[in-house]
Structure 1
């Protein structure tokens, strides 16, 4: 039995999507980030109290990048990883970790714009700096995609399920207008049947109450 501990529209969607791409049977345990269910007993599965956590057999894994490496190595016939010694191995690992660099910016903006209990505690300067950093990673990603359909030159991989989710969350803070390459890449990801199946099992997002969160005026 494979069991995914999941919050809708969070980074655990990466693993949900990868499980669909691998064609595996699994159960989804849903949580709400605001109701305290990720504290207490859940921390026995994920010490930081964060999704994803993946139960498989007699072990539990946390951290979406590690789960991606584990699943692609455990189910290599799907061709979604790149084995050690192959030409694309270094780029595969690089993209897994670059996805988390970008996601870290999104997480900081989520905290500033959405999750602070007292919105007055948000820092306009921090938001400005992190938004600029996120925009820089998006522009870099578009350059990395030039001339190819997916993150790896030899085709779709689990690096795309790691990175692709960011392109659905980042536009709440940085418009993708003018980044035609990223928009085309996102459309290719959306067109994948496994993505559609994963989205159907994902659940409704409860984070964002607006389509876009602008950088506030300094001093406001």
Structure 2
């Protein structure tokens, strides 16, 4: 296998990388994994990612892991696309804050996925933990709703939108978006981008969620 290779699970955080590759016009091969069948712990992936998780991206003669690091690297090494403010730019600090805030939110989504989707025995899930984590996720969305002013997180579309955008397609499985009109409109703008549409076509159907929304469990 040669060229750019993305190790990927559909509708996971590796979608950020797939989407960004489309935005940048970078051709790639995709190696798909299923999060449930143990395939990520086999083969070459554990040697590429210390956690044996996706994404892993083979590019420029090396392998990168962690979606945030990959987004920053691609945007900063492909400067002609204008997707990252460089040091000295007035928007640089704001860009970095949103890139990393995306992982604050993404970690909460991951915890809800574990408790609500991936536990083999659903009885092991803690209703208290689920309710607290959902409340924290909602709070991160409320904070973002309050700060979002324009069409994008910065004055123009950037890698920060790629990082954050993925979250806004996963979070509604756990938090109703009726109270977030600006985030709902922002999500529509993201999903209308041609590169996003192409990436979703390549990504295929998500295999995680068996319903459109997971209501809060009753407190115990």
TM-score bracket, shorter-length normalisation: over 0.9
How big is the shift at 1:215? 1.2
Give the TM-score of the pair, scaled to structure 1.
0.97
Where in structure 1 are there 5+ consecutive unaligned residues? none
In the alignment, what sits opposite 2:60?
A: 57
How big is the shift at 1:2? 0.9
How big is the shift at 1:180? 0.5
In the alignment, what sits opposite 1:182?
A: 183
Cα distance in 1 for residues equivalent to 2:206 and 2:87: 37
Cα distance in 1 for residues equivalent to 2:181 and 2:12: 25
Which segments of structure 1 move beyond 3 Å, counting only runs of 4 or more?
none
Where in structure 2 are there 5+ consecutive unaligned residues? none
In the alignment, what sits opposite 2:86?
A: 83
Q: Does 1:207 align with 2:190?
A: no
Q: State which of 90, 93, 96 in structure 2 corresponds to 1:93.
A: 96
In the alignment, what sits opposite 2:5?
A: 3
How many aligned residue pairs are there?
217
Cα distance in 2 for residues equivalent to 1:73 and 1:179: 31
| Deviation larger for 98-107 or 137-146 | 137-146
In the alignment, what sits opposite 1:39?
A: 41
**Deviations 1:75-131, CA, capped at 9 Å, x for gaps:** 000001110111111111110000000000000000000000110000000000000
In the alignment, what sits opposite 1:115?
A: 118
Q: State which of 121, 128, 131 in structure 2 corresponds to 1:128.
A: 131
Cα distance in 2 for residues equivalent to 1:23 and 1:143: 33
Taking the TM superposition and a 5 Å limit, the aligned residue runs for 1:122-161 are: 122-146=125-149, 148-152=150-154, 154-161=155-162
In the alignment, what sits opposite 1:13?
A: 15
Cα distance in 2 for residues equivalent to 1:104 and 1:38: 19
**Deviations 1:124-160, CA, capped at 9 Å, x for gaps:** 00000000000000011111212x11011x2100100
Cα distance in 1 for residues equivalent to 2:207 and 2:42: 22
Q: State which of 20, 23, 26 in structure 2 corresponds to 1:24.
A: 26
What do you get for the CA RMSD once the two structures are aligned? 0.8
How big is the shift at 1:57? 3.0
Q: Does 1:71 align with 2:71?
A: no
Give the TM-score of the pair, scaled to structure 2.
0.97
Give SS of 2:40's match: coil
